[in-house]
Amino acid sequence: MKVEKLCNFYASKYHLSIILLEYLKEKKIKKYNVISFLQEELEDEINVLVQKYEYDKELIKGIDFRVTKDIYKKELKDLKNTVFIVQGNLQYIKEANEYILDSLENNINVKIINCYNFSHQKLYMRDIIAKSDKILFTTGEKIID
């Protein structure tokens, strides 16, 4: 099993939405299964940006950008080639990551994108970055040196 962890720090829900849309576009995400765990809803922001900037609607097809009220009720199956988008406070992200890791089988490779609100987590950025493989920016993934 290979789990690649990315971290992202965003200033607003629109900022996070642009980062995610650009990532999905760059990675040609249709080849991947995308599962979200969101403490805050992004559906309105995503839809506004898709319309305004004419993103391909296929990018977001099948991705749930609504709040995940109960992490443990989200069904995780067929996790091969899966990208997880996790957004919330430190505790929420920790619980979602534990649930994801407990659900994985040995031969699966996945990416987990942990998204943190900069203003709420700026004191913990060093620790968050140290536990991640890459940082996700609007311009793409960067390996942490």
- The CATH number that applies at residue 23 is 3.40.50
Residue 39: closest CA among 70, 61, 62, 10: 70
User: What is the reported pLDDT for 137?
Assistant: 94
The two three-digit tokens of residue 22, written as one number: 């650009």
Phi (first) and psi of residue 21, to 5 degrees: -65, -45
Share above pLDDT 90 across residues of the chain, in percent, rounded to a whole number: 74
Once rounded to an integer, what is the mean pLDDT over residues 57-61? 91
Residue 138 has which token pair?
């609007």
| Buried-state track 33-47, b at ≥16 Cβ within 10 A, e below 16 | bbbbbbbbebeebbe
pLDDT at 75: 87
Q: What is the pLDDT of residues 78-102, one digit of tens each?
A: 888 899 999 999 999 999 999 999 9
Segments forming the whole domain that contains residue 119 = 2-143
Higher pLDDT: 37 or 124? It is 37
* pLDDT one-digit tens code per residue, 26-45: 887 667 889 999 999 999 99
What's residue 28's pLDDT? 75
The structural domain count of the chain equals 1
> What's this model's pTM, rounded to 2 decimal places?
0.94
